[in-house]
Amino acid sequence: MQARGLEGGTMSHQASGAKVTRSRPFVKWAGGKRQLLNVLAVNVPEKYDTYIEPFVGGGALMFELLPKQAIISDINAELINAYLVIRNNVDKLIRSLARKNNKEVFFYKERAKDTSLMDKVQRASRFIYLNKTCYNGLYRENSRGEFNVPFGDYQNPAILDRENLLNISAYLNSSDVRIYHQDYKQTVLLAKSNDFVYLDPPYHPLTATSSFTKYSKGDFSDNDQIELSEVFTALNEKGCHVMLSNSNTEFIKDLYRGYNIQEIEANRAINCKGDKRGRGLFEVLIKNWS
Ligand SMILES: C[S@@+](CC[C@H](N)C(=O)[O-])C[C@H]1O[C@@H](n2cnc3c(N)ncnc32)[C@H](O)[C@@H]1O
């Protein structure tokens, strides 16, 4: 049975026999869906076989639904390594995070480390630590692929959220969740009829300069959005339930003409510096069913 609706963070249900508690993302993530969970959860199909999220990011919807069978992927290697370490080695990860602190000098030392010399647990620990302590939880790399977001200088960042990491680990270990570091186009090849595919790609910019669409080397261009709409149609023809989030722009609505398009209220930066925020129908939720 799939969980739908939101009643706070304490609901638990059975996944493969083990009791699993609803979790939340272990990273702050640009475009993360925690604010929109109310809207998303009521739009999830009643029944489906496998939950597939090819642009998983922080995985807000998956951690809300806790599907028993899932396939998730992302192009960001450090993010996917962190999911795998939480599943395979959470105790060591917790011990490593417990040794980190929120001092500026420590942050820059950690940021400067060469990840190719680190093991998987050290890399996951560094990734989560930098996400919690850097400016705005952004993930940005320079042309050499090095993380380059500055220190956030927050009062009390939750560097180690032990309970949530343990909950996530319990969920990933008691359910059939396949986790891949790969392009979304590889992941959608695994979809079968009656699966539910939630596509949450980097958003089409509302204005030429307003949106953050860079999560690792490479951008998501207009051509990528066009290709994605073709993938959406192919999944529709395969008999999947397909749901997609994106910006509320004419370009996007044109690409998905003929599908069920809902305009969604969301918060957005409303000036070009991003320091003023407003609420409006800035997003769309597109489904291939009513
Ligand atoms: C809008 S975010 C997803 C947010 C997520 N739903 C959440 O709740 O945090 C888009 C994600 O797509 C990933 N991404 C970008 N291009 C990709 C590609 N070609 N294939 C797979 N993932 C990609 C980014 O790394 C990012 O994590």
Ligand 1 center to 62 CA (angstroms): 13
Of 44, 183, 215, 231, the one to substitute when testing ligand 1's pocket (max ligand atoms within 8 A of C-beta) is 215
Query: How many angstroms separate the CA atoms of 260 and 263, rounded?
Result: 10
| 12-74+177-287 classified as CATH 3.30.379.10 | no
Higher pLDDT, 20 or 25: 25
Q: What is the pLDDT of residue 46?
A: 95
pLDDT for res 215: 52
Q: What is the pLDDT of residues 56-92, one digit of tens each?
A: 999 999 999 999 999 999 999 999 999 999 999 999 9
pLDDT reading at 272 higher than 60:
no
When pLDDT is averaged across residues 181-207 and rounded to a whole number, the result is 96
At 73, give phi and psi (nearest 5°): -155, 165
Instruction: Tell me the average pLDDT across 157-181.
Output: 97
pLDDT of residue 280: 87
DSSP 171-219: HHHHTEEEEEES-HHHHHTT--TT-EEEE-PSPPPSSTTT----SSSS-
pLDDT (average), residues 109-121: 96
Residue 174 alpha carbon to ligand 1 centre in Å = 25
Mean pLDDT score of the chain, rounded to an integer? 89
Compute the distance from residue 201 Cα to the ligand 1 centre, in Å: 5
Q: Ligand 1 atom 27: the closest Cα is on which residue? A: 57
With 80 as the cut, is the pLDDT of residue 95 above it?
A: yes
The pLDDT-based confidence of 7 (bands split at 50, 70, 90) is: very low
Mean pLDDT of 170-186: 98
Ligand 1, atom nearest to 139 Cα:
25
Confidence of residue 11 (pLDDT cuts 50, 70, 90): very low
The Å distance, Cα 105 to ligand 1 centre, comes to 30
Q: Is the pLDDT of residue 167 over 90?
A: yes
3 has a pLDDT exceeding 50: no
**Strands ordered across the beta sheet of 277-287:** 176-181, 69-74, 51-53, 196-199, 241-247, 277-287, 260-269
Report pLDDT for 223. 95
Over residues 11-18, the mean pLDDT reads 47
Domain ranges of the chain: 12-74+177-287
Most ligand 1 atoms within 8 A of CB, residue of 36, 64, 74 to mutate = 74
| Integer Cα distance of 26 and 192 in angstroms | 29
Per-residue confidence (pLDDT) for residue 162, from 0 to 100: 97
- 38: Cβ–Cβ under 8 A, 6 or more apart, which residues? 6
Which residues have CB under 6 Å of ligand 1?
Answer: 25, 29, 31-33, 54-55, 57-60, 73-76, 183-184, 200-202, 215-216, 220
- Mean of pLDDT values over 187-208: 93
- Expressed in angstroms and rounded, the spacing between residue 95 Cα and the centre of ligand 1 is 28
User: What percent of the chain has pLDDT above 90?
Assistant: 77
pLDDT band at 2 (very low <50, low <70, confident <90, very high): very low
pLDDT tens digit sequence for 198-256: 999 999 988 765 445 445 445 899 999 999 999 999 999 999 999 999 999 999 999 99
Residue of the CA atom closest to atom 19 of ligand 1: 183
Alpha carbon nearest to ligand 1 atom 5, residue: 57
Confidence (pLDDT) at 12: 45
SS3 249: coil
**Angle, alpha carbons 131-82-227 (nearest 5°):** 90
